[in-house]
Structure 1
Amino acid sequence: MTWPFENDTGAIVKKLAKRSLASEKRRNLMVVIAVALAAFLISFAAILSVSVAQIQRNQAADTYEAVFTGVEASDVAALKDLPEFARVGEYYLLGQEHSEQGYNASYVYCDSDMIYIARSQMELIKGELPERENEVAVSEYFLSSYGSNAGIGETVRLDTESFQGNYTVTGILSNVGEKEGNTCAIAVSKAALTRWAGFDPAGYRAYVHFQNDEQLNQEIMTACCREIAARYGLPHAGMNSSYFAYASKSIDFASAGGIAALVLIGGYVVIQSIFRISIQDKIQSYGQLRTIGATSKQIRRVVKRESRRLGSIGILLGVLLGVAGGLLLFPKGFHGLYYGAAVLLTVLICWFMVTISVRRPVKIAAGISPLEAVRFSAGQERIRSRKKPIKLNPVSMGLANFRRDRKKAASIAASLSLGGILLLIVSSVVLTRSPEQAARLYFPDGDYKIYLSSEQPEEEVMAAGNPLNDGLRQEILSVDGVTDVLVTRQALHAKFGSSASTEAGMCDALTDANRPDVEAALVSGAMPADAHSVLLDASYQKHLAEMDVGAAMELSLGQKTVTVTISGLLDPLRMTNGHGALALDSVALFAPEELFRELHPEIENFDYSWSIVSDPKKAERVEAGLQEILSSRSNLGLDTIGTHIAYEKMQSGLIFGGLRAVSWLIFLFGVVNLINTTLSNQMSRRRENSILRSIGLTSRQLCRMNICEGLCYAAFAALSVLLVGLPIAVAVCREVSRQSFAGEIVPYQFPILEMGLFLLVLFGLEFLLSAWTAGRQRKRSLVEQMREMES
C-alpha cells in the first residue's frame, strides 16, 4: 500500500524484479523445478484421493439399497408399484452348470431394471434381453471362446445339464471376472425359467432403489423395508452395506496430507537455500541500490516479487501435471468440484511454502547495509576459528569448504536425507510384510484349499449331499504329490443382528479341533458355555455398540432363526481363513457345533473347506490334478497360495510402489538443492580458486578438493538417514508385524538392495557434479580467470 504522502515506486520495483529475473536464469530454473515438483506431488496425491472416492461413489450411486430374497414374481410386481421405490429389479439365480466344452455356465434371469442396477458387474452392451424360451443373452467371453464369435440373431449351442440345444442370441453381456474363473454368464428368458426343472416360484430376488435416496439414511430405509415386508408378508430385506459405505464416504485426504507435510519440509529447505545463495551472490548489488536511495522495504518487495513470479510458474506447471496424471490414470474418477477443491488446496499449500521459504532470505537482503554489502564477498564465509593450524592438502581444503557454511551444509544434507529416510522406512516395511508371509497366513497346512463355491445357499448344497465327501477325499489322495486332506472349516452363511441392524457373514462351527486356536484369538468375554452362545468378530462391535459381550441377538443359519448370546469377541487379525484373493468369506462368528446340528438335523456333513497337504516339489502335478478333479464339479472352488501371493504383490506394488516413487521424488528436492549449490560455488569461488591455482594448486588437486567437499555432503546425508531413519523404520516395522501377523514380531530386515541403490545414486551424483565442476574450471586458463576477476 502507498500512502498519499509517499512516492509510488511500484514501477521501479517491478522493473528491478524483472531485470533480476532475467539475470538469474539458473536460479529461476531451480526454483521453478522445486515448486513444480512440490505442486505435482501434492496435487496428484489429492487428485488420487478424490478419484478413488468418486469411482466408489459412481459404483454405488443409483444401484440398490436393499434386496428382498425368496419372493415370488407377484411380490416383485407389487414392489414395483410402491411409490417409495424408484426402481425394482427382478432377478433369479439358476446356478452354475458345467459344460462339456470345459466352461462353467452361470444362468440367471433378470429384467431391464435389474440390468441397470447391476451395471457395474454385468452390463448389456448390445441387443436386448431374451423373451422367448429359445433365446439367450450371452457374454462376450462366451462368444469369443465357445460361441464361434456369433452375433445378434445368430445361433449358439448350449450343452449343460439343464439347457441343451440351439439358442438364438438376442443380446451380448459384459461380465466381471469371467475369463479368470472360466465362467460364462448366460441370461435366459422368463419363459425358459418357469420351465426349468429346478424352478421355485418363491426363488426370486427383488433389488430396490429408493426415491429421493440422497435425503434418506440407512435407518430410515431399513425401517421402511421392515414395514413393507410386514405389510406384504415378505422375508426381511437385506441392506446393501457397500452402498451406504460408499455413498456416504468422505474423501480421505490423510495420505495427501502426509505427502503434503513431507513436501512442505523438503520444499521449504530447498527453496530457502536457493534464494539464500542467490542473495549472497547479489548482496553487493543490493548494497549499491541502498547507496542510491533504495529502502529496506523496496529491497524486500523486489525479492518477494521475484519469489511470487517464480512460485506462480512452478505451481501452474505442477498442478497441470498432477491433474493430467490423475485424468490419465483415473478417467472415471473425474469430478469437477472435487478436482477444483484439490487444485485450490494445492495452490494454497504451495503458496504458503514459497512464502515462508523466502522470509529468511528476504530479511537478509533487506537488512544489509551499504557498508556491509561492499565488504561482503560471496564465497568468503567465515570459517570457525582453529586453535591449531591444519596441514593444507586437497582433502583438508575440501573439508574446510564443507564446514565454512554450516547452514548451507545442513540444508543440503537435510534435503538429501529426507527422501532417503522415507525410502528406508517403506522398503523395511515391504520386507517385513512380504507377500509370501502374508499369503501363508491363509495356508498354514498346505498350498491348496478346496471349498464350497456355489450360487446356492450352503445349507441346500449340504442337505442335497455335500460334495466334500469321502469319495472326493479318496480322489484327491490319489493325486501324485498329495499327502493328506484336512478339514479346516465347517460353516454356513449366516445373518445376525438386532432389530436395529442386520449383518451377514460366515458362521463357523466351534469344534474340538479348532477350539485352541479360537481361544487364543479371544480378546474379551469367554468361550461359549452352551449351544446358544456365540463368539463374534470384534470389528462388528466397533461400529455396532449393541453387539457386545452379554448382548442377545438373532442368528439365522439358512431359513432357521434362533436367539443367541454373545459370550466373547475375537481378534479379526487372527481370523484369516477366507478364500480367494479378497477372502470375502472369512469367518464372522463362531457357534457351537451343537447349534448347527440343532438347526439343521437333515445335514450330516457341514464341511465347508479342506486344506490339501502336498509335496512342494510336485506342485505342478498337484495343481493340475486338483483342477482336473474339480472341472466336473460346479459347486466347488480351488484356492491356491499362488493366488494370494499374486494379490499381495499387486497390493504391495500399488501401495508401497507408490510410496517408493514419492520417496525418490522427494529425494529430487535434495538433488535440485545440490545442483544449485554446486553451480553457485563454481561462480562464487572463481577468484578464490584462481588464487589457489596461481600459488601452485594443480588441476588434479582442485578436482580432488571439489570431490572431497561433495562426498562430505553425501556422507553427512547417508549418516542422517541411518541415525534418524533406522530407529523409525524398526519401530514402524514392529507395529506392522504386530498388526499383520496377529501379534507376532518378525525380526527386522535391513533393505540392503534399496538402500544400496540410494547410496550409489547419492555418492555417484556427488562425484559426477564435483568432477564436472573441476572440469569446467580446468578448461579455462588461469590468466583468463584472473582477468575476469579484475574486471
Structure 2
Amino acid sequence: MNTINATACANLKLNRGRNLLTGIAIMLTAFLIFSITTLGSGVIRFQFHAANQLYPTYQIMYRDVPEQTAAELARSADIEKLGLRQDTAQIRKEDTICRLIYLDETGRELGRIDLESGSFPVEKNEIAVSRGMLQAFSISGSADIGDEITLPIQPIEAHGLGFEQEYTFTICGILPTPEAEEDNRLYSALVSEPFVRELLPASERLYRVMVRFSNARSYTTDAIIQKGENIAEAFSIPKGNISENSPYLLANYIDPTFYSAIAVVLIIVVLAGIITIYSIYYVSTMYKVQEYGKLKALGATSKQVRSIVFREGMLTALLAIPVGLLTGTGASYGAFIAGGSHAL
C-alpha cells in the first residue's frame, strides 16, 4: 500500500464523524435513485399490463361518422383494422338506462367484448344482454338464452331520441355485468346489423369508428394522435369527433414526456445528494486546513493532497453505495409484495 492510500485509510478512521454523515448521504442518494427507477418503472409496467388486459385495443375512435365515410376509411392503406359501433336505441326506467349497441366482428375484437354464454346477435330480433340489465329492468330473473323479452325502445336518431316503441327480442347471448354498469346504472346490450338497418335509415346511421393504424409499432403516443388527426382531416371528420384511447396508447407506445419526467426527478435527486455531500466536505475541510498544510510542509504536492481527499471519499462511497442498493432492493421488493397482496 502506497503512502497516499495509507493516509486515506488513516483519515477514514480519523474522520469517522464526517465520513459517517457522508456515507449516510451517499447511501440515501443510492437508495432514492434505485427506488425511484425500480418502483417507478415497476408500477408503470404493472399499470400498463392491467391496461392491456382490460382496455379496448383500438388506438383512435372517430365519432358520428356517416356510413359512406366509414366505408371509405376502411379502404385506407393507413388503417390496419377498423371496427364499427352504432348506438342504435336505448331503454330507460327512472334513473336506469340501457343502450342497444351494434358492433361488427372487428369492433367486438377491438372493444374486448366477450360473452359468458351463447352467441352474438345475427338475426334481426336477436339480442345479447347481461343478467344485471335484466334485473335492473325487472325482466324475469329466469330469462335465458332462447327466451323472448319485450323492451320499450327509443331509436337514437341524428337529432335525438325518437318515439318509444315496443320491440320483442330473442335472447341469443349472455354478457358479463361489469361493476361499473351497476354503479352507474348504465347498461349495454348488443343487437344485430339487420336490426340497425330496419330501425334507422341510412341518413340516421352515425357510427363510432375504432381504428388501428398500419406500421404503428415504433410510433410515439403523440405521433399516433397526430396521424389520427391527419386522417380525420383528410376524410372531413371534425377534430372534436376524435377520441384517443389514452390508457392503451400510454401502455404500448413510447411517451417522451414520461421518460423526461423520470430523468428530471433523478437529476434533482443526484443534485441534492451532490450538494449535501459537498456541504459536509466543505464544512469539515475548513477545520482540516492545518493538517493539509502539514502534509504539504512534509513534501506532499497539491495533487497528492487532493488524491488523499478523493480516495478517502471513494472508500466511503464503496462502503455506502452497496448498503443503499441493498436497502433499495429490500424496500422495492417489500412494496411489490405489499402491492400484490393488496391487489389480490
TM-score by length of 2: 0.58
**Distance (Å, rounded) in 1 between the aligned partners of 2:101 and 2:325:** 53
**Distance (Å, rounded) in 1 between the aligned partners of 2:225 and 2:282:** 58
Offset, 1:142: 3.2
Q: CA distance change for structure 1 residues 302 and 226 in 2, over 3 Å: closer, same or farther?
A: closer
2:253 corresponds to 1:250: no
2:97 corresponds to 1:104: yes
Q: CA distance change for structure 1 residues 113 and 186 in 2, over 3 Å: closer, same or farther?
A: same
2:81 corresponds to 1:87: yes
2:310 corresponds to 1:300: yes
**One-letter code aligned to 1:129:** F
**Distance (Å, rounded) in 2 between the aligned partners of 1:22 and 1:273:** 16
**Distance (Å, rounded) in 2 between the aligned partners of 1:324 and 1:145:** 43
Offset, 1:52: 11
**Distance (Å, rounded) in 2 between the aligned partners of 1:20 and 1:140:** 77
Offset, 1:104: 0.9
**Distance (Å, rounded) in 2 between the aligned partners of 1:92 and 1:134:** 16
Structure 2: segments with no counterpart, 5+ residues: 154-165
**Distance (Å, rounded) in 1 between the aligned partners of 2:42 and 2:273:** 21
- Trace 1:755-770 onto structure 2 (pairs within 5 A): none
Offset, 1:135: 3.9
Look up the SS of the partner of 1:160 in the other structure.
Answer: strand
Match of 1:124 among 114, 129, 147: 114
**One-letter code aligned to 1:305:** L
**One-letter code aligned to 2:152:** T
Offset, 1:25: 9.9
CA contact (8 A) 2:120 2:128 kept: yes
CA contact (8 A) 1:108 1:187 kept: yes
- Trace 1:515-526 onto structure 2 (pairs within 5 A): none
Q: CA distance change for structure 1 residues 304 and 191 in 2, over 3 Å: closer, same or farther?
A: same
**Distance (Å, rounded) in 1 between the aligned partners of 2:287 and 2:135:** 70
**Distance (Å, rounded) in 1 between the aligned partners of 2:48 and 2:227:** 24
Look up the SS of the partner of 1:193 in the other structure.
Answer: helix
Match of 1:182 among 160, 181, 185: 185
Q: CA distance change for structure 1 residues 166 and 151 in 2, over 3 Å: closer, same or farther?
A: closer
**Distance (Å, rounded) in 2 between the aligned partners of 1:289 and 1:172:** 81
Offset, 1:179: 3.6
Offset, 1:92: 1.3
Q: CA distance change for structure 1 residues 155 and 138 in 2, over 3 Å: closer, same or farther?
A: same
**One-letter code aligned to 1:106:** R
Look up the SS of the partner of 1:130 in the other structure.
Answer: coil
**Distance (Å, rounded) in 1 between the aligned partners of 2:24 and 2:122:** 68
CA contact (8 A) 1:47 1:326 kept: no
Q: CA distance change for structure 1 residues 182 and 170 in 2, over 3 Å: closer, same or farther?
A: closer
2:173 corresponds to 1:169: yes
**One-letter code aligned to 2:67:** V
Look up the SS of the partner of 1:251 in the other structure.
Answer: helix
**Distance (Å, rounded) in 1 between the aligned partners of 2:290 and 2:140:** 83
Q: Which residue of 1 aligns with 2:202?
A: 201
CA contact (8 A) 1:131 1:190 kept: yes
Offset, 1:186: 1.1
Q: Which residue of 1 aligns with 2:133?
A: 142
TM-score by length of 1: 0.30
2:28 corresponds to 1:34: yes
**Distance (Å, rounded) in 2 between the aligned partners of 1:151 and 1:308:** 71
**Distance (Å, rounded) in 1 between the aligned partners of 2:61 and 2:22:** 56
CA contact (8 A) 2:90 2:100 kept: yes
**Distance (Å, rounded) in 1 between the aligned partners of 2:129 and 2:123:** 14
CA contact (8 A) 2:32 2:328 kept: yes
Offset, 1:91: 1.8
Q: CA distance change for structure 1 residues 192 and 298 in 2, over 3 Å: closer, same or farther?
A: same
CA contact (8 A) 2:8 2:309 kept: no
**Distance (Å, rounded) in 1 between the aligned partners of 2:334 and 2:182:** 32
Offset, 1:93: 0.9
- Trace 1:456-495 onto structure 2 (pairs within 5 A): none
Offset, 1:208: 3.6
Q: Which residue of 2 aligns with 1:700?
A: none
Look up the SS of the partner of 2:257 in the other structure.
Answer: coil
Q: Which residue of 1 aligns with 2:160?
A: none
Look up the SS of the partner of 2:256 in the other structure.
Answer: coil
Offset, 1:31: 3.4
CA contact (8 A) 2:120 2:173 kept: no
**Distance (Å, rounded) in 1 between the aligned partners of 2:124 and 2:206:** 18
CA contact (8 A) 2:129 2:173 kept: yes
Which has the larger Rg?
1
Offset, 1:301: 0.7
**Distance (Å, rounded) in 1 between the aligned partners of 2:108 and 2:27:** 50
TM-superposition CA deviations, 1:390-423 (whole Å, max 9, x none):
xxxxxxxxxxxxxxxxxxxxxxxxxxxxxxxxxx
Q: CA distance change for structure 1 residues 256 and 314 in 2, over 3 Å: closer, same or farther?
A: same
Structure 1: segments with no counterpart, 5+ residues: 1-6, 230-235, 331-791
Aligned residues: 308
**Distance (Å, rounded) in 2 between the aligned partners of 1:165 and 1:186:** 11
Work out the percentage of aligned pairs sharing the same amino acid.
15
**One-letter code aligned to 1:251:** T
Offset, 1:71: 1.0
**One-letter code aligned to 1:97:** I
**Distance (Å, rounded) in 2 between the aligned partners of 1:33 and 1:130:** 63
Q: CA distance change for structure 1 residues 168 and 219 in 2, over 3 Å: closer, same or farther?
A: closer
Q: CA distance change for structure 1 residues 61 and 93 in 2, over 3 Å: closer, same or farther?
A: closer
**Distance (Å, rounded) in 2 between the aligned partners of 1:160 and 1:144:** 15
**One-letter code aligned to 1:115:** R
CA contact (8 A) 2:83 2:104 kept: yes
**Distance (Å, rounded) in 2 between the aligned partners of 1:9 and 1:61:** 66
CA contact (8 A) 2:18 2:281 kept: no
Q: Which residue of 2 aligns with 1:160?
A: 152
CA contact (8 A) 1:91 1:109 kept: yes
Look up the SS of the partner of 1:131 in the other structure.
Answer: coil
Q: Which residue of 2 aligns with 1:211?
A: 214
**One-letter code aligned to 1:124:** D
Which is richer in strand?
2
**Distance (Å, rounded) in 1 between the aligned partners of 2:326 and 2:109:** 41
Offset, 1:223: 6.3
CA contact (8 A) 2:127 2:189 kept: yes
Q: CA distance change for structure 1 residues 268 and 28 in 2, over 3 Å: closer, same or farther?
A: closer
Q: CA distance change for structure 1 residues 50 and 190 in 2, over 3 Å: closer, same or farther?
A: same
**One-letter code aligned to 1:311:** I
Look up the SS of the partner of 1:237 in the other structure.
Answer: coil
- Trace 1:354-373 onto structure 2 (pairs within 5 A): none
- Trace 1:528-607 onto structure 2 (pairs within 5 A): none
CA contact (8 A) 1:31 1:311 kept: no
Q: Which has the higher contact order (CA 8 A, sep 6+)?
A: 2
Offset, 1:286: 9.8
Q: Which residue of 1 aligns with 2:163?
A: none
Offset, 1:111: 1.6
Offset, 1:64: 3.0
TM-superposition CA deviations, 1:136-160 (whole Å, max 9, x none):
3335753676678889858695643
Look up the SS of the partner of 1:90 in the other structure.
Answer: strand
